[in-house]
Amino acid sequence: MIKSRGYFITSAAVLMTLPVLGLCSQQNPQPKSPVPSMTSDDVIVSRPSRPVEAPPPGEPKSGEKSQAKENDKPSAGEVSWRESIKAARKESESAQRRAEEAELRITDLRNQLGAPGQGAGDRNQTMSDLATAGDSLKQQKAEAREAAEALNKLLEEGRQKGYKEEEGPSSVSKNGEPNEDYYRSKFAELTKGLDDAERRVQLYQNKVNELNQSITGNSRSGDNFFIGQLQEQRNEAQHSLEQAVEASQKAQADIAALKEQARASGVPPGVFR
């Protein structure tokens, strides 16, 4: 009986300690396995390609861009930008051509001053023409700079908005036949590039010649600093001349390659007239 009583007391003590152990286990939970830390690679993978931002004024919203992409058609803003960039590029090229032609005109007038058979009246008229041409050159150069700045501003705007300039016609039409419009437009583009390059070859050759004459004329002055400046300008003009020659040669090669491509495709040669 005493033994049974002792067993009862021991069992009761064990039962009384169970809630205490449970409470202790809640207060001191077992350590869990370590949580893996996020690496920089994980962050990069989960990061969106571009931050979500409100589009700048005038830029199509993301939904509009997606819709335009699905329809494979540019947005109204991009269409307007394409028209503006086309006009700005045309004006910039025209202004640059006018400035270069004005500079060539001045060189021709200077050469006339030293031509034989010139009387006093002829030289006076040439000097007057030179003064007028000089004023015109300043204006043409200013207009060329302004046109170039306007073009660059539009190009930067298009870059920020993800716009692209309109692509030209494809070399093959939808029915698989050679597209004559492609060859016409490409020939006109290459011919214009050749004309620009040849004009610049003449322009920079004139500059090299004039600077060489100035260097020779000042060689006995003893002003080495001034002669050094002239030589630096001559080297820059020579470099530009070499670039213009390369551009001219490349344009000629591209025109020949285009004509050969057209011939192999069965395009009539009259396209290039």
Gyration radius (Cα) of the chain, Å: 39
Residue ranges covered by each domain of the chain? 74-167, 170-273
pLDDT digits (tens, 9 = 90+) for 22-43: 433 444 444 443 333 333 333 3
CA distance 106 to 102: 6
Cβ–Cβ under 8 Å, residues 75 and 162: no
Task: Read off the pLDDT band of 58 (50, 70, 90).
Answer: very low
| 105 CB-near residues (< 8 Å, 6+ apart) | 133
Which of 16 and 160 is assigned the larger pLDDT? 160
DSSP sequence for 169-233? --SB-TTSSB-HHHHHHHHHHHHHHHHHHHHHHHHHHHHHHHHHHHHHHTTTT--HHHHHHHHHH
Q: What's the average model confidence in pLDDT over 41-47? A: 34
Q: Is 99 exposed, middle or buried, given 0-12, 13-18 or 19+ CB atoms closer than 10 A?
A: buried
Q: Which two tokens stand for residue 157?
A: 């705007």
What is the greatest pairwise CA distance in the chain?
A: 155
Query: Tens digits of per-residue pLDDT, 217-259?
Result: 988 887 889 999 999 999 999 999 999 999 999 999 999 999 9
Which pLDDT belongs to residue 16? 44
What percent of the chain lies above the pLDDT cut of 70? 74
**Pure H helices in the chain:** 2-27, 40-46, 62-71, 76-113, 120-161, 180-217, 224-265
Q: pLDDT digit string (tens) for 121-175?
A: 889 999 999 999 999 999 999 999 999 999 999 999 999 999 999 988 999 988 8
Q: What is the mean pLDDT of the chain?
A: 80
- Note every long-range contact of 131-134, with CB atoms under 8 Å and residues 24 or more positions apart, other chains counting: 133/102, 133/105, 133/106, 133/109, 134/106
Per-residue confidence band for 71, with pLDDT thresholds at 50, 70 and 90: low
The model's confidence at residue 119, banded by pLDDT at 50, 70 and 90, is confident
Would you say 210 and 111 are in contact if contact means Cβ atoms under 8 Å apart? no
Contact (Cβ atoms closer than 8 angstroms) between residue 185 and residue 169: yes
Spatial separation of the C-alpha atoms in residues 223 and 219, rounded to whole Å:
8
Please give the torsion angle defined by the CA atoms of residues 200, 205, 210 and 214, in that order, rounded to the nearest 10 degrees: 120
Flag whether pLDDT at 62 surpasses 90: no
End-to-end CA separation in angstroms for the chain: 129
pLDDT at residue 52 greater than cutoff 60: no
Output the pTM of the full model: 0.69
**Residue 90 pLDDT > 50:** yes
Give pLDDT, residue 72: 65
- The secondary structure of 120-132 as a DSSP string is HHHHHHHHHHHHH
Instruction: Compute the distance between CA of residue 210 and CA of residue 230 in angstroms, rounded to an integer.
Output: 10
